[in-house]
Structure 1
Amino acid sequence: MQQGQALSRPEKMVRLASWLVALVFAALLAGLGELVIRDLFYLPAGGPPQQEAFRQRIGLDPLKRQQEQLQRQTEAQRAEQEKLAATRGQLERSYQTQRQGLDNWLASRAATADAGQSGEVVRRARALDALQAQILQWQQKEDQASSGLLALAQRQQTLQAQVDRLEQQAGEQYQQASDRFELKVFALRLAVILPLLLLGVWLFLRYRGHRYWFFVYGFGLFALFAFFVELLPYLPSFGGYVRFLVGIALTVFAGMRMIQAFQRYAEKKRAELQQSQGQRAGRIAYAKALLSYQKRSCPSCDHQYNIAGDDADYCIHCGLQLFRVCACGARNFAFFPFCKKCGGAVARPAALPDHPASKPE
């Protein structure tokens, strides 16, 4: 790729379109990657483990049916007890009514001193005794119903303890299976995305200057987005360590590559500055010269040449001739092909004194 300031307007439009293609390509790959990452969740064993399967496997369903049966028996027994209690209550109220009537009748008999009604007294007393016996019978039935309810409650409590113990075992087995499944899914996703990330790094290092560089950049953006963004919602508890460790490794690798590139650049510049000015001038490309002119820097040593003033003809750092005077009298940058005033060809400074320049450190 060339620097943007050294490009013509059509080249800048092509550059902008290339970046647009790179972003669209990255977005489409990211969408496809999101679908793949999501569907990998159902790849191991046809999907995640189901908790109900572990409940059935451990034998919880028969116990649940027993609980339902006991619950129905308890409700029926409670309804029977309530019916018995209601009947007993009616008998007790009837007994109280008859007893009150007998007491009133006895008081009236004592007031009139009527001794001929002794048989009536005996009859009423026997009726009260019979009613009292019925109350006792219904009370016994109610007590039996209460005992049955207590026995059912104890059975329910024992059964509930068994259900709780088995549910705990089923929950532990389900959690272990879920953890194993989650680990498998994460390993699958990492096995898909990590090679893509490494491939993106390799493509960038090898083909970033290729004519189809925008596909390389688009794939690299997709790989970074897939690993550091799309994978984030699916990370297990330890997945953050993997994510940050890979990020640290990439940062260290990028830093080392940057330092190595700078060292190679510095060594290349030192080697260039040992050459004659004619050799150095012959190696300067037009795009490099245009960019250097716009930045007011020397195209050979990359130092600012206008420190000595805008009228300087030579670089004060490496001694390279930067400006030449045309036959028409115009002062031109020595690495531009044509004169800015007359349009004549500008001779490059190739026939200069053959001595190397030293770049100050």
Structure 2
Amino acid sequence: MRSGSRLSERWFNLVLWLVALAFAGFLIGLGSLVVGDLPQVEHRYTLEQFLDGTRSGVATDALKQIRREQDDNRRQAEQSQLALDAARSASEAARETFANWLKTRDATQRVDQDPGLVARTERLDALKAAERTVEERLEALAKVGLELSEREAAQASIDADLRAVAQEKLDAADRGQELRVFGYRLALTLPLLALAGWLLLKRRRTRNWPFVWGFALAAAFAFFVELVPYLPSYGGYVQYGVGAVATLIFGRTAINALHTYNERQKAAELRPNEERRTEIATDQALQRLSKKVCPGCERPIDLVNPAANFCPHCGIGVFERCPACDHRKSTFERFCYACGKVGPAAAAS
């Protein structure tokens, strides 16, 4: 039966756990940098790499030419609109002048002004003709603009189709690259996790246990935190599939562990009382007794009854009488806390 740990030993263990956490923290930081830099081993694909160079170049050049013609047509339309505004203003001013002149002529009834009437009318007709010319030019520019818009839409559709085909190829290449990078990460983290498991199984009770636990924590973090976010989705099938497999493995492990525990407990209950007590640590036994459960089989026992010295479930000795002072003490306590003498169970062990 192992004795309870000293207070200084507990503080040392706490410091060693801090060392383990610090070691794990540095390893996690280093692993994060390595995992984060792994995608740089792959060349980054771009959409232009998968475009049909000849057809895409023709479509792009055609679109550029059409847009240049649209810009020229737009500038000409703006200039023609300004000219039309000026022509309309001039025509409007001339009509107002002609109207005033007609009022004056009607008032004076002078025949010698007839040549002026003809000249003014001809001038108005010329202004109206100039205005109409600008309007026709605007209509022609609008027609050209409509044709350019239709050509642009057709070329844009061709360019969009080419880019859609290239995008499909780019997505396929990215998925392949993503899978390869995930493979790199898995090849890096899985051996670390396996090594961490082996260290926990074989080396966790050695004097270097802080580094074992620190390495195990870092490996678990790298696998379950650094690796899982990069797991390819493929519609969620991979995540749910991996989750189902992981749950199955964990569940089977838990079931097997529970079965092994029950078998071990049944086998332990058949062994001699003294031999079983020596395998239970004092701190663990006292902790279980404080919860009113048997230190051996962890089933409830009556601690209030002074005659109940043995567990009724597994038969392990829980209490005994001190031979020096006849005080009732736990069999897992080495010394009697009433007189300080070594108990019978401790002396026998």
* TM score, norm. by length of structure 1: 0.73
For residue 108 of structure 1, report the CA deviation from its aligned partner: 4.1
**Counterpart contact for 2:81–2:138, Cα < 8 Å:** no
Equivalent residues in 2 for 1:126-141 (5 A)?
126-133=119-126, 135-141=128-134
Alpha-carbon distance between aligned partners in 2 of 1:191 and 1:43, rounded to the nearest angstrom: 10
Equivalent residues in 2 for 1:107-186 (5 A)?
107-108=106-107, 110=109, 117=112, 120-133=113-126, 135-174=128-167, 176-178=169-171, 180-186=173-179
| Matching residue's letter, 2:150 | Q
| Matching residue's letter, 1:44 | E
SS at structure 2 position matched to 1:80: helix
Q: Does residue 49 in structure 1 map to residue 42 in structure 2?
A: no
Alpha-carbon distance between aligned partners in 2 of 1:12 and 1:73, rounded to the nearest angstrom: 86
Q: Does residue 210 in structure 1 map to residue 205 in structure 2?
A: yes
Equivalent residues in 2 for 1:220-259 (5 A)?
220-231=216-227, 234=230, 237-238=233-234, 240-259=236-255
Report what 1:266 is aligned to.
262
Structure 1 residues without counterparts, runs of 5 or longer: 352-361
For residues 304-348 of structure 1, give each alpha carbon's deviation from its aligned partner in whole angstroms, at most 9, with x where no partner exists: 554582443444344444424324544454454444455444444
For residues 29-78 of structure 1, give each alpha carbon's deviation from its aligned partner in whole angstroms, at most 9, with x where no partner exists: 43334434433344321x35257985987235423422441233123311
**Counterpart contact for 1:95–1:132, Cα < 8 Å:** no
SS at structure 1 position matched to 2:281: helix
SS at structure 1 position matched to 2:144: helix
| Greater relative contact order, per chain length (Cα 8 Å cut-off, separation 6+) | 2
**Counterpart contact for 1:339–1:345, Cα < 8 Å:** yes
For residue 241 of structure 1, report the CA deviation from its aligned partner: 3.8
**Counterpart contact for 1:306–1:312, Cα < 8 Å:** yes
Report what 1:355 is aligned to.
none
Q: Does residue 70 in structure 1 map to residue 69 in structure 2?
A: yes
Q: Does residue 326 in structure 1 map to residue 323 in structure 2?
A: yes
**CA RMSD, Structure 1 to Structure 2 (Å):** 4.0
Alpha-carbon distance between aligned partners in 1 of 2:240 and 2:249, rounded to the nearest angstrom: 14
Alpha-carbon distance between aligned partners in 2 of 1:239 and 1:25, rounded to the nearest angstrom: 38
Q: Out of 291, 310, 313, which is 2:284 matched to?
A: 291
Alpha-carbon distance between aligned partners in 2 of 1:222 and 1:240, rounded to the nearest angstrom: 27
Alpha-carbon distance between aligned partners in 1 of 2:127 and 2:171, rounded to the nearest angstrom: 64
C-alpha spacing 1:195/1:324, structure 2 compared with 1 (3 Å): farther
Report what 2:30 is aligned to.
32
Report what 1:354 is aligned to.
none
Q: Which has the larger radius of gyration?
A: 1
Give the % identical residues.
24
SS at structure 2 position matched to 1:128: helix
**Counterpart contact for 1:55–1:167, Cα < 8 Å:** no
Q: Aligned residues, how many? A: 338
| Matching residue's letter, 2:205 | H
Alpha-carbon distance between aligned partners in 1 of 2:256 and 2:162, rounded to the nearest angstrom: 58
Report what 1:96 is aligned to.
95
For residues 196-223 of structure 1, give each alpha carbon's deviation from its aligned partner in whole angstroms, at most 9, with x where no partner exists: 2574366336625332444444444444
* TM score, norm. by length of structure 2: 0.75
